[in-house]
Amino acid sequence: MDLKFSPEDIAFREEARTWLEENRPAEPRPNEWPDARDFDVAWQRTQFEAGWAGISWPAEWGGRDLSMLQQLLWYEAYARAHAPGLGVNFVGMSHAGPTLMARGSHMQQAAHIPQILRGEQIWCQGFSEPSSGSDLASLSTRAEIDGDDLVVNGQKIWTSYANVADRQELLVRTNPSAPKHKGITWVVCDMSLPGIEIRPIRNIAGQEEFCEVFYNDVRIPLTNVVGGVDNGWSVAMSTLSFERGTAFMADIVELANTLERLVEQAKAAPAPLGKGRAYDDEAVRVQVAELRAEVAALRALNYATVSRIARNGKPGVEGSIVRYYFSQLLQRTQALGVDVLGASTVGPERFSPWARGQLNAFRASIAAGTKDIQRNIIGERMLGLPKDR
């Protein structure tokens, strides 16, 4: 791996930093719908119009066709400028768009990728079901072919942004008699179709970011199938490789920022017993030092991922190590923030940013495969340990 930046990379980084400093939204992202969606869409649109959306995406679809390293430099400039996260554009930008680029037909790419980049099409992911999460291949939402359509009946759960999404990457069972990995289809579902019912679920941080989605005789044209009927498991594996391998690059960069924010606030906050500053406590400084070292190691792993993608063209199974390690460091950092800042994290709002951050950090070791599933993947597919029974 070559960690040196070329003069072009350095010039790109400077240009990105300047643009972000001048253009990032000044106001914070609203916490409630529909304002949060409007905010995310407007910010995506601003980036697109200035040529900063889809750094490594093909120019044919409105991207810049630049390298994955430049994509990562963009994320670093982004975190440095404290620009807001992808919000409702997360699924489209992080894994639906990349899956369509890897597995979709030219017509499907033309119909969706430019709209995703422009913030005109919000996506959600309909994979998990009430009895099929870690064991995703056991999913039972049924789709029968009727003329030129698939007719879908069943239920999904934990579908982030379903209540504000236009499209969904939907996994359905098209052949119940085939072995469980064989009879699954990956299809683009229009969320405004008749027969779809969406019920938001309130999470522990008080936000309605994920939903239950019910399908009652929903007719989806067969032309929306990606990768072929009954061939959806391999398409889903492409989606998950992006979701585990590259989708969290920006969050990893942001984690270093969160830690430094904690240090600044601990220097300003009084110690719990009122003597000196919270940061004067040696135990706190030891934990901060350990986290700084580990976050630096995580960022090195992130660079290694980029280097591998540059060689192989797609994220590898090593993404599970990064995903697992990131989730643990994020949770430790957020918990330390609440411990150190104590009562000062409780503000006039129902949840202060640190309290909300700690509650939201739980998701990192569940979504996109729990920490146990990531460990199983590392054990079986990288270390060659016996298969999980």
Ligand X SMILES: Cc1cc2nc3c(=O)[nH]c(=O)nc-3n(C[C@H](O)[C@H](O)[C@H](O)COP(=O)(O)OP(=O)(O)OC[C@H]3O[C@@H](n4cnc5c(N)ncnc54)[C@H](O)[C@@H]3O)c2cc1C
- Output the smallest distance, CB 129 to ligand X, in A: 8
Q: Counting contacts by CB under 6 A, is residue 155 touching ligand X?
A: no
- Output the smallest distance, CB 127 to ligand X, in A: 3
Q: Which residue has the tokens 């597995």?
A: 103
Q: How far is CA 220 from CA 148, 182, 306, in A?
A: 9, 20, 36
The catalytic position among 129, 169, 243, 318 is 243
Among 23, 140, 155, 370, binds ligand X (CB under 6 A): 370
Q: Counting contacts by CB under 6 A, is residue 374 touching ligand X?
A: no
Per CB under 6 A, contacts with ligand X among 199-218 are 210
C-alpha 129, offset from chain centre? 19
Q: Counting contacts by CB under 6 A, is residue 334 touching ligand X?
A: no
- Output the smallest distance, CB 318 to ligand X, in A: 20
Q: Counting contacts by CB under 6 A, is residue 366 touching ligand X?
A: yes
- Output the smallest distance, CB 117 to ligand X, in A: 20
Among 18, 105, 134, 234, binds ligand X (CB under 6 A): 134
Q: Counting contacts by CB under 6 A, is residue 127 touching ligand X?
A: yes
Are 327 and 364 contacting, i.e. CB atoms less than 8 angstroms apart?
Answer: yes
Query: What is residue 189's three-state secondary structure?
Result: strand
Q: Counting contacts by CB under 6 A, is residue 158 touching ligand X?
A: yes
User: What secondary structure does DSSP assign to 2-45, as a single string?
Assistant: --PPPHHHHHHHHHHHHHHHHHS-SSPPPSSTTHHHHHHHHHHH
Applying CB under 6 A, what is the total number of residues that bind ligand X? 20
Query: What is residue 377's three-state secondary structure?
Result: helix
- Position 175, amino acid: N
Q: Counting contacts by CB under 6 A, is residue 133 touching ligand X?
A: yes
Q: Is 120 a catalytic residue?
A: no
Separation between Cα atoms, residue 31 and residue 29, nearest integer Å: 6
Separation between Cα atoms, residue 167 and residue 189, nearest integer Å: 6
CB closer to ligand X, 134 vs 234: 134
| Angle (nearest 5°) at CA 87 between 97 and 321 | 70
Region from 125-133, 137-145, 214-222, 377-385 binding ligand X, contact rule CB under 6 A: 125-133
Q: Which residue has the tokens 């697992």?
A: 324
Among 84, 376, 379, 381, binds ligand X (CB under 6 A): 376
CB closer to ligand X, 44 vs 125: 125
Q: Counting contacts by CB under 6 A, is residue 160 touching ligand X?
A: yes
Q: Which residue has the tokens 């709002």?
A: 349
Are 229 and 186 contacting, i.e. CB atoms less than 8 angstroms apart?
Answer: no
Report, as residue numbers or ranges, the catalytic residues: 243
| Residues at the site binding ligand X, with contacts judged by CB under 6 A | 124-128, 133-134, 158-160, 210, 363, 366-367, 369-370, 372-373, 376, 388
